[in-house]
Amino acid sequence: MFDKLKQRFGKANRPVEAAEPPKPPPIIDVTDADFEAVVLRSPLLTVVDFWAEWCQPCQVMSAYVGFLAREYEGRVLVAALDADEHPETPARYNVMGLPTLLLLRDGVEIDRIVGVVGYDEIKTRVERLLANS
C-alpha cells in the first residue's frame, strides 16, 4: 500500500536528496574544570582562543580560529574558553586583554597572539611551530 501511495504522489523510486548540514568547526569548548585534561594533556600543538561575548574583536579572531580548526583538523587541537565564564585559567596565564590566542605544546605556552591579527599571520605561526615539532 505504501508503494502505491508513493507512486500516486510521484515519490516512487525517486532517491531522496538530503542536503548535508554544514559541519561546525572542530573547536572544543573548554572550561576551567577541564582545561588541564583537554588542553594541557593534548599530544598535539594546541591553540586556545580566550574570548568574551561582549568583545567585538573576539568575533573576528573566533572566525579565524574556526578557519584554522578546519584547515589543521587532526594536526592541531583548537579550543575556545569564555574568559568571563571561566576566569581562573585566563588569570593563571596572565591573559590581560581579549582576544588572546595561546599556542601550547606539551602543556607549555610557546607563543601568544594578543589582539586582532590577520589569518595569514596566525597560519604562519602555526606552520612554524608544526615544522619545529
Residue 18 vs residue 35, higher pLDDT: 35
List active site positions: 55, 58
| Residue 98 domain-assigned (yes or no) | yes
- Over 70: is that where the pLDDT of 25 sits? no
For Cα atoms 68, 74, 79, give the angle at the middle one, nearest 5 degrees. Answer: 55
Report the CATH number at residue 31. 3.40.30.10
| Residue 11 domain-assigned (yes or no) | no
| Residue 18 domain-assigned (yes or no) | no
How confident is the model over 84-106, as a mean pLDDT?
98
How confident is the model over 101-109, as a mean pLDDT?
97
| Residue 2 domain-assigned (yes or no) | no
Domain range holding 34?
Answer: 25-131
Strands 100-105 and 27-29: unpaired
| Residue 48 domain-assigned (yes or no) | yes
Domain count for the chain: 1
User: Which residue, chain included where needed, has cell 576551567?
Assistant: 32
Among the listed residues 26, 37, 125, 42, the one whose alpha carbon sits nearest the alpha carbon of residue 89? 37
Burial class of 123 by CB neighbour count within 10 A (0 to 12, 13 to 18, 19+): middle
| Residue 4 domain-assigned (yes or no) | no
| Residue 9 domain-assigned (yes or no) | no
| Residue 3 domain-assigned (yes or no) | no
- Over 60: is that where the pLDDT of 92 sits? yes
pLDDT band at 133 (very low <50, low <70, confident <90, very high): confident
103's enclosing H/E stretch is strand 100-105
Beta-bridge partners for 100 = 50, 114
